[in-house]
Amino acid sequence: MRAYDVILKKRMGRELAKDEIEFLIDGYMSGDVPDYQMAALAMAVFFQGMTARETSDLTMAIVRSGDQVDLSAIAGKKVDKHSTGGVGDKTTLVLGPLVAAAGVPVAKMSGRGLGHTGGTIDKLESIPGFNTSLDMGSFTDSVNRLKIAIGGQTGNLAPADKKLYALRDVTATVDSIPLIASSVMSKKIAAGADAIVLDVKTGSGAFMKTLEDSTGLARAMVDIGTLVGRRTVALITDMDQPLGRTVGNALEVREAIECLMGHGPEDLENLCIALGSQMVCLAEKAGSPEEAAEMLRGLLRAGKGLEKFRELIENQGGNPECTRDPGILPAAEETVDITAPSNGYVTGIDAEMVGVAAMTLGAGRETKESTIDLAVGINLEKKTGNPVKKGDTIAILHINDRDRAVRAGEMVLKAYSFGPEPPETRKLVMGTITSEGVKII
Query: Could you give the residue numbers annotated as active site?
Result: 82, 161, 168, 183, 187
Contact present, 270 and 234 (Cβ < 8 Å)? no
User: What are the helix (H) ranges across 102-210?
Assistant: 120-124, 136-146, 159-169, 177-190
- C-alpha R_g of the chain: 22
φ, ψ for residue 395 (rounded to 5)? Answer: -155, 155
Q: Which of 90, 376, 108 is nearest to 258 (CA)?
A: 90
Give the pairing type, strands 231-238 and 437-440: unpaired
Q: Which burial class, exposed, middle or buried, applies to 77 when counting CB atoms under 10 A from its CB (0-12, 13-18, 19+)?
A: middle
Contact present, 80 and 279 (Cβ < 8 Å)? no
Q: What is the rounded distance in angstroms from the CA atom of residue 85 to the CA atom of residue 198? A: 11
Q: What is the rounded distance in angstroms from the CA atom of residue 156 to the CA atom of residue 305? A: 32
Q: Find all residues with CB under 8 Å of 34, minimum gap 6, and list them.
A: none
Q: Which residues pair with 309 in a beta bridge?
A: none
